Amino acid sequence: MWHARDHATVVMGGHPTRLWGMNTGLRQVGRVQAFISDQGLRGEPPELPRPEGRHRIALVGDSTFFGHGIEDNETIISRTVGLFAADGLDVDGINGGIPGYSTEQTIMLLDEEGWDLEPTLLLIGNLWSDNNFDHFRDADLLRTRKMWNENPLSRSSLFVLVASILDGLRDDSHPRVVTWMRSSEAPDHGVRRVPVKRYAENLDLMVREAAKRGIQSGIVSPVNRLMTIDDLPNDVAWGPYFAAQAAVAAHHGIAHIDLAPTLIEAAKTHGSSDLYLDEMHPTPLGSTYFASAVHTGLVDFGWPERTSLAQGAPFDSSGIQDVVRGSVSLTVNELSPQANLYPDLVSDDQKAPGDTTESYEPSYWRVTGKVVGAEGDVELTVVTAEGDPVRVSKLTAPYTFTVPVSGSITLTRVVATTQDGRRATADCFKDCAPVTLSFE
């Protein structure tokens, strides 16, 4: 969540170039606090200049790698570094995971902050945000922001003063929410935040830029809860992005670390509910297995004795294709209003030959309401009439909520659960009045 009024419980804030970033200081993330440095990264900043002979691993990605709901010393990078230190390696780490970040924003993060922290190994875990379906493409929004920042009017002191006053008067009770896909099946609306061809090109750009700086790199394939409990041979939604990771890593001869086998085996012993807080984010135990898989993958590759430095010409992305077709729009058009400013972003090769599917007009409605009589954190679950999850989130006082729902869903059930296990429910038909879930 971002663009909300700043508070200790608000991690994400607006960013002048990357749309959103993390607010500094101690921030509440679930039931724990995270320390955000002045660089906008989780954890204490590393020692600069980097001591001679020390390895420094920078792990970039989204909230999975940031470590939502777990302590600073329980994150994947923290535990990975700990495993290598136990091997006798002089190594430290940089947590470059930022909730909601795609490769588009991570490239900018590296240019603005990451390279200056002197990593010796860059591990790229971005995937979930890139492959997600939403009403915008990241490139559109980022280019719009860049254009606005370069406009002389937007840099004038008078304009900034007036804008800040108007912003203070604006009702900002509904912060922006960054989502991720819960299912391996494609939704029936939206566009990929980062098309898979561009995703492959972004991976290629990062590993080649690292190599120019003498920095090694590797690609990490994440794994969510569903992937540990279900066999997904026809995974049309995520598959092309995992395939792009493997292709780029193979082209450059760098480490490619697949986390799924380790977590699948762990789920057989512990159960997926012990490994994940929700569909995406690992528990402290899950983070231990994630880190173990990263450590093992690098050791099996031969790092640090064998260098993982990108080699050769730029990756040819012409063979990378998205397999999703049908009612999902793969063109930008009206689903991303900023695209009207950049018609060159809409390419003919984004649609399959002969695909005459009409553009989808996105349709949403919202479940709004409040919880009364509760104390402490409240878990809010919204499901369809069939029991399929729409949203699971944590609420804190004043316990108000707004949940967007696809127009194809006509009935939802809202469930609030307190820390002591009490539950309150309410049904909401499409466009219903705000609901109240009471514990009084």
Q: What is the CATH number of the domain that holds 369?
A: 2.60.40.3110
Rounded-to-5 percentages of helix, strand, coil across the chain? 35, 25, 40
* Sign of torsion over alpha carbons 339, 343, 345, 347: positive
228 half-sphere exposure, CB direction, 13 A CA radius? 29
Point out the domain boundary residue: 339, 362, 385. 362
**Residues 353 and 370 placed together within one structural domain of the fold:** no
Q: What is the pLDDT of residue 231?
A: 56
Domain residues for 385?
365-438
Q: What is the pLDDT of residue 385?
A: 77
CA–CA gap between residue 242 and residue 226 (Å, rounded):
15
Q: In what order do the strands lie in the sheet with 55-61?
A: 91-97, 55-61, 121-124, 216-221, 255-258
**Residues 383 and 317 placed together within one structural domain of the fold:** no
| Contact in structure between 221 and 123 (CB atoms under 8 Å) | no
**Residues 10 and 38 placed together within one structural domain of the fold:** yes
**Residues 319 and 376 placed together within one structural domain of the fold:** no
**Residues 357 and 426 placed together within one structural domain of the fold:** no
CA–CA gap between residue 2 and residue 19 (Å, rounded):
9
**Residues 330 and 372 placed together within one structural domain of the fold:** no
**Residues 153 and 265 placed together within one structural domain of the fold:** yes
**Residues 373 and 357 placed together within one structural domain of the fold:** no
Point out the domain boundary residue: 304, 331, 362. 362
Q: What is the pLDDT of residue 226?
A: 87
Q: What is the CATH number of the domain that holds 66?
A: 3.40.50.1110
Instruction: Report the domain count for the chain.
Output: 2
**Residues 376 and 303 placed together within one structural domain of the fold:** no
CA–CA gap between residue 376 and residue 286 (Å, rounded):
25
| Contact in structure between 91 and 51 (CB atoms under 8 Å) | no
Q: What is the pLDDT of residue 207?
A: 98
**Residues 334 and 423 placed together within one structural domain of the fold:** no
Point out the domain boundary residue: 344, 362, 380. 362
Nearest partner of 72 among 114, 27, 106, 113, judged by Cα: 27
**Residues 383 and 335 placed together within one structural domain of the fold:** no
Q: Consecutive sets of 10 residues in the chain, 440 residues long: mean pLDDT of each? A: 50 84 89 92 96 98 94 97 98 96 96 97 97 80 64 56 56 50 54 91 97 98 88 65 94 96 94 90 97 97 97 91 57 38 38 35 69 90 77 80 74 90 90 90
CA–CA gap between residue 95 and residue 68 (Å, rounded):
12
Nearest partner of 97 among 121, 130, 120, 75, judged by Cα: 75
Q: What is the pLDDT of residue 66?
A: 96
CA–CA gap between residue 224 and residue 229 (Å, rounded):
10
